[in-house]
Structures are given as structure tokens and as C-alpha cells.
Amino acid sequence: MDRTGYANPGDAELTCKAAGDNVELVKDRLQKMMPECGFGELGTCCVMCYMGPCRIDPFGQGPRTGVCGATPDVIVARNFLRSATGGASSHAGHARELAILLLDIAEGRAPGYKIREEGKLLSLAGKLGVQVDGRPVDAVAADVARKAFEDFGRQDGEPMNWIRARASRIEYEKWEKLGLIVSNPHNEIETAMHRTSMGNDADPLNLWVATLRMGMVDNFAGLMLATDLSDVIFGIPTPKVVTANYSVLKEGEVNIACHGHNPILASKVAEWADRLEGEAKAAGAGRVNVVGICCIGNELVMRYGIPYAGHEAQTELFLVTGAIDAMVVDIQCIMPSLPAIAKCYKTRFITTVPFVRHPEAIHVDFRPEVADEKAQEIVRHAIAAYKERKAAGIRPRIPDVSSKLLTGISVESLVSVLSAVDAKDPLKPVIDAIASGDILGAVGMVGCPNPKLRDGAMSEKMAEGLLRNNVLVVTTGCVNHILAQGGFLTSEATEKYAGPRLKKVLTAIGHAAGLGAPLPPVLHMGSCVDNSRIYDLLAALAGKLGVEISQLPVAGSAPEFITEKAISIGSFFLAAGILVHLAPAPRVFGSPFAVSLLTEKLPGLNGGKVLVAATPEGAVSGILAHIREKRQALGLP
């Protein structure tokens, strides 16, 4: 293990405990899997039909095509499109649940929820062409939800409402020229699965265009729809300082870890945790303590300041503390290993979604119409487990590690912070700083914690390298847990890591905004679906400068990605013309066509480009070179 200064001592302590408790962890299983399959890594393994599986070694003497004649270029493109489709399906499913909830609220079927942000609802309605004046809020909300359903059901080939309403004009026209405006997300998903099945699309370029279109589905039917509706229902995030890391678990309290993605469930569990405090006390506990893991941690911390536990690769270790009474999950990133580990510590592992189940889990059929009843049931499971676990003599071991972070940076809250510097034109100080070079550029670091790269502290070292070069970092997803635990989301981090010019800007903004200290150099913009906030911010900056997003000195990076969702998010940012850094290497290197398209041809077409670098140094230098190139093209120093 590369023992860097960033290693979380809590991880090491719990890894030792797990070994003593005979608990196998993700890293142990990864070790057993090595070496991983080279055909899979290159993307040249095909299982689309039963004449195969076929695998092609692009560098060797074996077969040059699959049994059906598919070339490595076709196989790689089909596999990649299917990954992007998996990711976009996850995000679109997440968003569609929120649209259903919005209609249920409007029509009185979800009494446990309400519309918290009327202003955002009305503004969204205006953009979608929904009549607002003189109408009750519920009627407007119902029509906004129906606009979403119209997108999921339309067969007329017209552009999605959400693209028409939310894409900036300049980007919309670019996408229209490139044939990337999509109509119905479900149709795109169906067509992608159809065209990649045996004996259909065998044109690699056509398949890659479909991947960029899937990126559009991901952003507009997934990320953006989800963020918009979550803000309307659960509130727009506002800045707040909160605590992160293992110490958010509390001995003597009923600990509930929420894990997953959609705030529909976790917001209710958090509410009932407070309301059932009396029952917790009667069971001998201080209170019910809810903490957030993975992206639901981002959703809960951004809006409600709920303690920010840890990232996806730490979920097993959180159970190993023996301090969690119930782990309640909804969708995505839930390792199937968890229920068995939970059992070792008599933790109740609770699934809540009909298509995300596990034979060893307790299943609570959580639905918005019975949300209050089901959330109480979940919290009572945790209280009962607390008593049982205490009686069984299970002794928690909570590593004494804690971090602070500033969270809650939505575009709205950022604009309000910047208004303290320039009330009339809040984005002007940022534009001026970019123009002068005080902010050399910005990078969105997003996505997951990959155990293959975690021990090398890939994300922390990259962030440090970028900040030292005056590049501002914004984050979403589990990367933010990593950087929060590393202390990057504090004013002190500006002093410690930011280059002198970036430090000057952040200090001025922080003091003007009344923080009494610099703004942190890493800004937390939310969960994975909140990559839409990054798009909104980029579109606003580009709009003010009168340029395309692809011309900005910015980049995206998924420095330790795991999931197909990262592939679909990356595909959108490629469609938007942005440099996308990926590590580990995406499974495209078996296709000369894909490598040339993603690194040479696409940049000439719309500015999008893939950078593959598995070391922090390589990633930082590639990104800096790109940012400098973009600055030069804009005539900036």
C-alpha cells in the first residue's frame, strides 16, 4: 500500500478489525481477482449472442473478428454504448421517480411531502412554457410533472421539453447541428439496446454518435431533471459547515446509515429519526443519529447538514465499526456484500425498492403514499436493533477521525455568495479572475472511489496539484467525501494548497461574504445527479463571455470512477465539448477507431476529448496543458 499523507487512519484501523472479525472486504476480493481479464480491459470481449463469447486480442495472432464478423471497433463501440445506456437508465429512473412524486404531491397522494421551493418551481414552469399567472402552485406543479412525463412518452420526434427549456441557446444550436438533440429518453435507451444486439449497427461512428446522444439523455432526462425536481421538493442547498468521517457515528445513540441516491426515502428517515427520539430514549439511547453514505450523503448534507459519513468504498468499513444499528438503502452503488457483513454485527440491513433486493435483507416496501408509516417502521427497526445489539454485547469501535467541510454550493447559493462582492453582476468577479489568470481554470472532479486507485490517493493528489496551479476545483459524488476527509473543503485548505493567485481571489470572496476567512478551494456542488449544477454554472459563465462551453479553460475528471453512471456523465460532458479525464482507463483501447475518435477527431469536431491518465501527475499535467491551450485560444494570459 502506498502510505501517503492522505491515508485515512480510520480505514486502516477498521481494515485490521475486519481481518480480526473474519470479514472479507472489497479490497480482499479485488486482490483475488487479479490479474483482471485483458480482453475485458480493452473492451474487446463480446457476449451479445450465443455464438460467442468472442474475444479479440488486437495485438496478437488470434481471430481478428467475432464469430459474426464484428470487428474490435464495433465490439468496443457497442460495449461502451451499453455502459452509457446503463448509466443513463439509472439517472433517468432516479429522475422519473421524482416527477411521479411531484405529481403525487400536487394531486394530494403524497401527504408526507410538500413543495419547498415555489420560486424554483415557478421559474422552471416558465422555462417549460407552463402557464403560471393566477394559478395555484399545485396546478403548476402538476403541469411541470406532466411536462416530464411528456418527454418520457413522446413519439413525435420533437426535442425533449427539458432540453428546450434548460439548454443554453448557443449549446442547443451546436447540438442540433451535430444531431445530438434527443426526443424521448426511453426510446433512446430502447434503440441503444436494439442497435447493439447481434446483427444490427456495425458502423463504429454511428455507434459513438449514439453514445453522445446517450450522454444527452443522461444529462437532460437524468441529472438535470433530478436536480431541478429535488430542489423544488426538498429545497435548494445553502452553504453550511458540517462534520464528516467515521466520528459522525455516535456510541450510545441509535445509528442509522442511509446509503443510496434518492432523497425521497432518506429525507423521511431523517425526519422520523427526530420525531421518534422519545422511543430511542426509552430504549436507553441518547437519540437517533442519521448519517449519509455515498451520494445520499451528498443529498442530505447539501440540504439539511446531516452528518457526512463516507464514500462508497467505505460502506463495508462503516458496518465493521459495529456501531450501525440499521443501514437503509434505496438504489445504486449498494455492494451485494453488505448484508452478510451487517449480519456479523447484528445490524439490520433494509432494502426499500422493489428492484433492489437481497435475500439476506429485511425489505420494507417504501412508497411515497405511505412514506410516514414506512419511515417510522424503518426507524423502529433501528431502535429495536440497538436494544438487541446492546444485549448481545456488541461493542462499537468508532475511529476517532473527524473532518469539517463547507457544503451546500448550488448555483443559486454561489451567486448569492458572489453578490457580496458585486451585487449587480455576481459572476463578474469570477470572470475577471479567469480573464486575469488569477483563476487559471476550473475542474469538476466527480464520481467514485475506486479501490484500484484509492491507496494511491489519486483524487487527493490531483486536487492538490490543480490547486497549487491556481485551478479551482468543484466536486460532486463520492470524490467529495474523499476530499472532505482530506480537509480540502475548508478555509485552511486555501492557505495550505491554493496557489498564490487563487488564494488571493478566494480570500477576497470569503471576507466579502462574511466568512471571516477564505472561501475553500474545493466547492461541493452535490451528488452525482448534481453534475447538472456544474453544467448550469459553465453555461452561465460561457453565456456571459459570449462563447461556447467548449471554449472555456475548464475540464472534467472522474479520477477513480467505478460505475456506468460515470460513463454516461462523461459522455454528456464530451457532447458539451469538454475535456474528460478518466481513470482507470475506459475500455476502448482495443479499438484504434475509438482511440483516434476520442483523442483526435472529436476535439476538432466539438472540442470534446478524453484524457486517460492513471497517475495524479499525468492527469494534472494533461489538464493544465488543456487549460493553457483554451486560454491561449481566447487570447487570455
Which stretches of the chain bind ligand SF4, using CB under 6 A? 46-49, 51-54, 66-68, 70, 75, 198, 294-295, 312, 332-333, 447-448, 477-478, 528, 562-563, 565
* Least distance CB 147 / ligand SF4 (angstroms): 27
Separation between Cα atoms, residue 607 and residue 566, nearest integer Å: 19
Separation between Cα atoms, residue 81 and residue 210, nearest integer Å: 7
Indicate the residue among 76 and 624 with the shorter CB distance to ligand SF4.
76
Indicate the residue among 196 and 550 with the shorter CB distance to ligand SF4.
196
Separation between Cα atoms, residue 83 and residue 566, nearest integer Å: 9
Apex CA 573: angle with CA 572 and CA 577, to 5°?
A: 115
| DSSP 8-class letter at 598 | I
* Least distance CB 66 / ligand SF4 (angstroms): 2
Separation between Cα atoms, residue 348 and residue 156, nearest integer Å: 48
Indicate the residue among 225 and 293 with the shorter CB distance to ligand SF4.
293
Those residues with Cβ within 8 angstroms of residue 398's Cβ, 6 or more apart along the chain or in another chain: 246, 247, 249, 250, 251, 321, 323
Indicate the residue among 198 and 384 with the shorter CB distance to ligand SF4.
198
Q: Are strands 240-244 and 403-407 parallel, antiparallel or unpaired?
A: antiparallel
* Least distance CB 581 / ligand SF4 (angstroms): 15
* Least distance CB 258 / ligand SF4 (angstroms): 12
DSSP 3-state assignment of 444?
Answer: strand
Indicate the residue among 171 and 201 with the shorter CB distance to ligand SF4.
201
Nearest by Cα to 399 from 485, 333, 336, 273: 485
Separation between Cα atoms, residue 572 and residue 137, nearest integer Å: 33
Indicate the residue among 100 and 562 with the shorter CB distance to ligand SF4.
562
Indicate the residue among 244 and 519 with the shorter CB distance to ligand SF4.
244
Indicate the residue among 566 and 597 with the shorter CB distance to ligand SF4.
566
* Least distance CB 46 / ligand SF4 (angstroms): 3
Looking up cell 481481518 gives: 19
What are all long-range contacts of 422-427, with beta carbons under 8 Å and residues at least 24 apart? 427/540, 427/541, 427/544
* Least distance CB 313 / ligand SF4 (angstroms): 8
Do 424 and 286 form a contact (C-beta atoms < 8 A)? no
* Least distance CB 177 / ligand SF4 (angstroms): 32
* Least distance CB 322 / ligand SF4 (angstroms): 24
Indicate the residue among 459 and 606 with the shorter CB distance to ligand SF4.
459
* Least distance CB 190 / ligand SF4 (angstroms): 19
What CA–CA distances, in Å, run from 415 to 281, 419, 628? Answer: 42, 6, 26
* Least distance CB 294 / ligand SF4 (angstroms): 4
Residue 421: alpha-carbon gap to chain centroid: 30
Indicate the residue among 199 and 286 with the shorter CB distance to ligand SF4.
199
* Least distance CB 480 / ligand SF4 (angstroms): 9
DSSP 3-state assignment of 628?
Answer: helix
Nearest by Cα to 482 from 518, 517, 458: 458
56 — phi, psi (to 5°)?
-125, 125
DSSP 3-state assignment of 441?
Answer: strand
Nearest by Cα to 558 from 485, 630, 477, 627: 477
Indicate the residue among 245 and 469 with the shorter CB distance to ligand SF4.
245
Amino acid at 547: V
